[in-house]
Structure 1
Amino acid sequence: MNIALVTGSAGLIGSESVTFFSNKFDLVIGIDNNLRQYFFGKDGNTEWNRSRIQESFSNYKHYSADIRETAELEPIFKEYGADIKVIVHAAAQPSHDWAAKEPFTDFSVNATGTLNLLEMTRLHAPQAVFIFTSTNKVYGDNPNYLPLIEQETRWEIDNNHPYFKNGIDEQHSIDHTKHSVFGASKVAADIMVQEYGRYFGLKTGIFRGGCLTGPNHSGAQLHGFLAYLMKCAITGIHYTIFGYKGKQVRDNIHSHDLVNMFWHFYQNPRSGEVYNAGGGRYANCSMLEAIALCEKITGNKVNFSYSETNRIGDHIWYISDLTKFKSHYPGWDWEYGLEETLVQIHDGIASRLTESHK
């Protein structure tokens, strides 16, 4: 039997992985205990998504295990380990601001949880390909010290800089920088996944995501900005822009395109390899530009205000350079542009809101 195991399986990337792998593996095992609801309240509740994938895929099996507890993980790995071909580790505490409130919880989920999964893999499924969803926050606020220029609707890097053409590459330093508590816990996990590849020889891939987005995101104020912004545009909920004049830039990658990167890596894996993963120059926007797109798609004015206080460690400008991944896996490319992705997000949110009011 060929098995794919996915953590955070009811979240955005986890559920996309379940969908993608459901017709490629005999069984897809999901691990998710809906901790996102604890982090973000009702907006973060992923039960609707768990129910959706359970109803949609007959070869999906769900476990509400806590990745912080090896006692809950080990029975799963002992039962299925020999047949597990790929592990997508997408479970995480993903918010800067939330991490500062509960550093122990943040670190236990992001760092200790990742170590637990790596060790379970080493002991019970050493031939499996281990894919880790890291973050561009491992670079801390180093990108903020690049030569940035203020334009009408966005910050942009000086066009003479090497990063102008394609964005920030994997050689950008992760040292001597302010990461935020969240960024630091993800650095610990990121380095450990590399080490299990380089030291123990496991087939591990680290994907440092920009903004990951898509129609199945349970967007909340503290995480998932495009999904939450679109929800605000649809419902009239107030939205707050934090700092940088609303001109901060992010690249955005559709969850399908990211999981397709995972699939390409799985078919020809490496050990301890690191890739930046985002929308690159193909799909990026500033906060002001995102608001304009949401207003265009919904026909509504977004109810927003501006706060001069930026989030600690937040990026002013970040665009991922995917040159390295594309050179290793030339068959991969983006399928979804920014506006197309936002339309999908709009339709998904509108559909769920309609269902909730029935």
Structure 2
Amino acid sequence: MNIVLITGSAGLIGSESVSFFADKFDLVVGIDNNLRQYFFGAESSTEWNRSRLADTHSNYRHYSADIRNIDELSPIFEEYKSDIKLVVHTAAQPSHDWAAREPFTDFSVNANGTLNMLELTRQNCPEAVFIFTSTNKVYGDNPNYLPLIETETRWEIAEDHIYYKNGIDENLSIDHTKHSLFGASKVAADVLVQEYGRYFGMKTGVFRGGCLTGPNHSGAQLHGFLSYLMKCAITGNHYTIFGYKGKQVRDNIHSFDLVNMFWHFYQNPRAGEVYNAGGGRYANCSMLEAIKICEEISGNKMDYSYSETNRIGDHIWYVSDLSKFINHYPSWYWTYDLTATLAQIHDSMLLRMAH
């Protein structure tokens, strides 16, 4: 039997992975205990998504285990052992603002939870491919020291700075920079996944995401940029822009496109490899530009205000350079541009609200 094990299976990337791999594996084993509700409140509960997956995919089996507790994880690995061919580890505490509230919780989920998953994989199914969703926050605020220019609606890399014309690649230093505690816990996990590949020879891949998005995101103010923005556009709830004149730039990758990157890696894996994974030059926007698109799609004028106080360690401009991944896997390319992604988020959100 071929099994894929997915942590954070009711979250954005986890649930996309369940749907993507359901017809490619005999069994999809999901692990998710809805910690997102604890992090961000009842409106961010992923229970609706867990129920949707169970109703949609007959070969989906769910476990409400806590990745911090190896005694809860061990029986799952022992049950399936070498039948597990792929592990997709997406479970995380994902907000750098929230991490400062409970540093122990943040680190235990992001770092210790990842170590638990790696070691249980090594002990039970060492030949499995292990994929980890890291973050661009491992680079800290180093991107803010790149030569940037201000335009009418966004910050942008200076035209004469040729090296970064396609975005930020994997060679940017992760040292001597302010990460936020979230960024630091993800660095620890990121390096662990690399080390299990390089030291133990396991087939591990690290994907440093930009803004990950899609219709199955339970967006909140502290996490889920486009999803939460569209929610405010639909409901009329107030939205606050934090710093940088609203011109801070993010690249946005649809959850399907990211999971498709995982699929390409799985078919031809490497040991301890690292890839930047975002919308790149194909799909990126500033806060002001995103608000405009949300208004156009929803037909509503957004209620928003501006605060001069930016979030600590927040990026002014971040666009991922995916040249390395595309060079390794040339048959992969983006499917969803920014407008298509936001339109899908809008329609999916309206449908959920109607029910």
Shorter chain as denominator, the TM-score bin is over 0.9
The residue that corresponds to 1:66 in the other structure is 66
Partner residue of 2:346?
Answer: 346
Match of 1:154 in 2: 154
Structure 1 equivalent of residue 329 of structure 2: 329
Offset of residue 162 of structure 1: 3.0
Partner of 1:76: 76
Q: Conserved in 2, the CA contact under 8 Å of 1:157 and 1:163? A: no
1:96 aligns with 2:80: no
Corresponding residue of 1:172? 172
Mapped partners of 1:82, 1:208: distance in 2? 27
Which amino acid in structure 2 is aligned with residue 299 of structure 1?
Answer: G
Equivalence for 2:55? 55
Aligned sequence identity (%):
79
Kindly indicate whether the alpha-carbon contact (under 8 Å) linking 2:9 and 2:18 is maintained by their aligned counterparts in 1: yes
The 5 A counterparts of 1:271-282 are 271-282=271-282
- Give CA deviations for 1:153-189 in whole Å, capped at 9, x if unaligned: 0000101113442100000000000000000000000
Within the alignment, does 1:7 sit opposite 2:10 as a pair?
no
SS of structure 2 residue aligned to 1:79:
helix
- Kindly tell me the number of residue pairs found equivalent between the two proteins: 355
SS of 1:282's partner is coil
Counterpart Cα distance in 2 of 1:196 and 1:162:
35
TM-score w.r.t. length of structure 2: 0.99
Counterpart for residue 20 of structure 1: 20
Match of 1:189 in 2: 189
Conserved? CA contact 1:194–1:205, under 8 Å: yes
Whether the 8 Å CA contact 1:153–1:289 is kept in 2: the answer is yes
SS in 2 for 1:311: coil
Q: Distance in 1 between matches of 2:75 and 2:162?
A: 49
- 8 Å CA contact 1:2–1:85 kept in 2: the answer is yes
Residue segments in structure 2 that go unaligned for 5+ positions in a row:
none
Measured after TM superposition, the shift of residue 279 of structure 1 is: 0.3
Q: Please show how residues 155-304 of structure 1 align to structure 2 within 5 Å.
A: 155-304=155-304
- 1: CA distance between counterparts of 2:162 and 2:202? 33
**What is the Cα-based RMSD across aligned positions, in Å?**
0.5
1:111–1:186: 8 Å Cα contact kept in structure 2?
A: yes
Aligned partners of 1:163 and 1:128: how far apart in 2?
Answer: 36
Residue in 2 that maps onto 1:106 = 106
CA deviation after TM superposition for structure 1 residue 43, in Å: 2.3
Separation (CA, whole Å) in 2 of partners of 1:42 and 1:105: 19
User: 1 CA distance for matches of 2:162 and 2:266?
Assistant: 30
Give the AA of the match of 1:60: Y
- In structure 2, give the amino acid aligned to 1:140: G
Offset of residue 278 of structure 1: 0.3
**What code does the residue aligned with 1:180 have?**
S
CA contact (8 A) 1:86 1:129 kept: yes
* Code of the aligned partner of 1:68: R
In structure 2, the residue corresponding to 1:101 is in which secondary structure? coil
SS at match of 1:28: strand
TM-score in terms of structure 1 length: 0.99
Q: Matched residues in 1 for 2:317 and 2:153: separation?
A: 12
The 2-side partners of 1:130 and 1:162 are apart by 34
Q: Give the corresponding residue for 1:129.
A: 129
2:87 and 2:129 in contact (8 A); partners too: yes
State the SS of the aligned residue for 1:352: helix
Task: Tell me, in whole angstroms, the C-alpha distance in 2 between the residues paired with 1:132 and 1:87.
Answer: 8
